[in-house]
Amino acid sequence: MPKVFITRNLPTDLTLLEKFASVEVWHERQPPTYEVLLSKVRSIDGLLCLLTDKIDKELIQAATNLRVISQMAVGYDNIDVSAATARKIPIGNTPGVLTDATADLTWALLMASARRIVEADKFTRALLWHTWEPDLLLGADITGATLGIIGFGRIGQAVARRASGFDMPIIYTSRNPCNKELENRLNAQFVSLETLLKQSDFVTIHTPLTSDTYHLFGRTQFEMMKQSAILINTARGGIVNQDELYNALITNQIAGAAIDVTDPEPIPSNSPLLNLNNLVIAPHIGSASYKTRKKMADMAIENLIAGLKGEQLPYSVNSATLTQSD
């Protein structure tokens, strides 16, 4: 039987997988260290990993029997895709099933930041609520505000769909504009990044983390934004330069931010971001609903089994390049 290693307990049943493979699961709450993972991959045929696992060239080269890498996430910036493709190892991911949950969380963060929900909760629990006051905890209007979406793929478009109840004009930037019919349906207009930053009341990031998007947000981009604007990032921490985010928030260059992702993760205990009242931080829970996480785990297992059988992965990251290199 082929051997597989799963780097964490999964929220689903492994019975089907166990018919095809001898399965070892890492049961600790913390992920395996890089050294442990390196020793495990030397003898396995299939790996089911998470975004917390660094799957670099050295690890892939050490995994001499490896036939499939199945990631339980849509993003795969933790995996050296070229190194795996060079070894003809297919990589799977879990697109689509987490789109709605992540778009919902994006809206939760947008609204929490605009209406200062976390501050309001702390204020109330501190027994500071003495009376109704005309200027208590005022926040930003959402209805009618301009929503700027960076990266107009599955999640970016799902965020746009949810804006229709708030009468929000939508501007977006992406590698390419989408078709006019979709633009009309979503009330969305393609603009440059610069225009988007200058005109948006809310800016939300939905690109993958790549060499092009690493630190896409720095001082220049914050300086282009309205002082009343709010930034939401549920994509990847590395897309925003965090020192510049701190500067922008502490100097009120922008009004606020809400982030589900940081760089590194978890956020270090001495990060000055933890002291800011105009920042809402969540611990990377974009896809964290019961049904979504089960669907992601099932999809990752489906990919893993297909890879072990030598079949094309149903949800593949590198199938096009694997075919080209044949």
Residue 276 or 285 with smaller CB distance to ligand NAP: 285
Query: CA-CA distances (angstroms) from residue 140 to 103, 146, 199, 222, 323?
Result: 20, 12, 15, 18, 50
- Closest approach, Cβ 98 to ligand GLV, in A, equals 6
- Closest approach, Cβ 261 to ligand GLV, in A, equals 7
Q: Which residues are catalytic?
A: 236, 265, 284
Residues 20-79 interacting with ligand NAP (rule: CB under 6 A): 74-75
CB 273, CB 279: distance < 8 Å:
yes
Note whether 151 binds ligand NAP by CB under 6 A: yes
The per-residue DSSP string of 253-296 comes to SSSEEEES--SSSSPPTT-GGGG-TTEEE--S-TT-SHHHHHHH
Residue 74 or 308 with smaller CB distance to ligand GLV: 74
- Closest approach, Cβ 315 to ligand GLV, in A, equals 12
Residue 38 or 282 with smaller CB distance to ligand NAP: 282
Helix (H, G, I), strand (E, B) or coil at 29: coil
Note whether 153 binds ligand NAP by CB under 6 A: yes
CA angle 147, 148, 150 (to 5 degrees): 145
Residue 235 or 273 with smaller CB distance to ligand GLV: 235
Helix (H, G, I), strand (E, B) or coil at 23: strand
Provide the phi-psi class of 2: left if phi over 0, else alpha when psi is between -120 and 50, else beta.
beta
CB 301, CB 47: distance < 8 Å:
no
Contact with ligand NAP (CB under 6 A): which of 10, 23, 48, 98?
Answer: 98
Note whether 103 binds ligand NAP by CB under 6 A: no
- Closest approach, Cβ 20 to ligand NAP, in A, equals 28
**Pairwise CA distance, residues 303 & 299, whole Å:** 6
Which residue number has the CB closest to ligand NAP?
153
Q: Which residues bind ligand GLV (CB under 6 A)?
A: 51, 73-75, 98, 286-287
In this structure, the dihedral spanned by the alpha carbons of residues 238, 283, 12 and 74, taken in order and rounded to 10 degrees, is -20
Contact with ligand NAP (CB under 6 A): which of 23, 114, 235, 248?
Answer: 235
Residues 120-139 interacting with ligand NAP (rule: CB under 6 A): none
Q: How many CA atoms lie within 13 A of 241 on its CB side?
A: 12
- Closest approach, Cβ 133 to ligand NAP, in A, equals 35
Which residue number has the CB closest to ligand GLV?
75
Structure tokens at 301: 């297992």
**Pairwise CA distance, residues 203 & 245, whole Å:** 13
Residues 197-216 interacting with ligand NAP (rule: CB under 6 A): 206-210, 212-213
* Residue 51 touches which member of ligand GLV, ligand NAP, none, C-beta under 5-8 Å by kind: ligand GLV
Residue length of the chain: 326
Note whether 177 binds ligand NAP by CB under 6 A: no
User: Footprint of ligand NAP on this chain (CB under 6 A)?
Assistant: 74-75, 95, 98-99, 102, 151-156, 173-176, 206-210, 212-213, 234-236, 260-261, 284, 286-287
